[in-house]
Amino acid sequence: MLRVIAGAARGRRLRTLPGQHTRPTSDRVKEALFNILGRAVQGARVLDLYAGTGNLGIEALSRGARSAVFVDAHRGCQRLIAANLAALGWAGRARVMGMDARDAIRLLGREGRRFHIVFVDPPYERGLVQPTLAALAAEGLLTPGGIVVVEHSPREEPEPVPPGLEVRDRRRYGATALSFLGESGREPGGAGELPDMESGVDDAPGPVPGDL
């Protein structure tokens, strides 16, 4: 059973796709991830790449993120994310983009979008981590002090990372690893060893014009 762990929608169940197409982040890993992010989620603009069920972006919205953009190329996942958002009454705080992650990154870059937190959770060991990080760095989608969270197999490290990003922290939970990246050259701070959130983050629960 997939559920929201904490926040406004705590305990609410999320719909999933039958079969093995999606690999939702386990409750254990998700709880650890958001404990590390801590208050950085409050008021954040979130980008959820390879979103699947929308599990991570929805958890962020529940914990106080201002808005979220969900990206997945699979039509079934797009419908699933939209259904989960509608069931929670959060369709107005979110955007669902049905396209390849790197195409979405380029489009968001052209639109001038910037995000405080980016989740990158591609299928394991498909060679997608580094090209996705390279696209993010090239388009400059992070706000100053923004955080990229990569969920990956321990056998598939995100390094070498592209210029402009650096690994700030790494954790392992069984067959899942989490790598936290920030802009290179910025001093870490805030939650754990992660950079503090900047550039307009506040406790506002809803999006503002231009968020989506």
| Identity of the amino acid at 40 | A
pTM equals 0.89
Are 180 and 36 contacting, i.e. CB atoms less than 8 angstroms apart?
A: yes
Strands, E assignment, the chain: 45-49, 67-71, 94-97, 115-120, 142-152, 165-173, 176-183
Helix, strand, coil in percent for the chain, rounding step 5: 30, 25, 50
Region 41-62: mean pLDDT is 97
Res 208: pLDDT: 65
Query: pLDDT tens, 126-141?
Result: 889 999 999 999 999 9
Is pLDDT of 20 > 60?
no
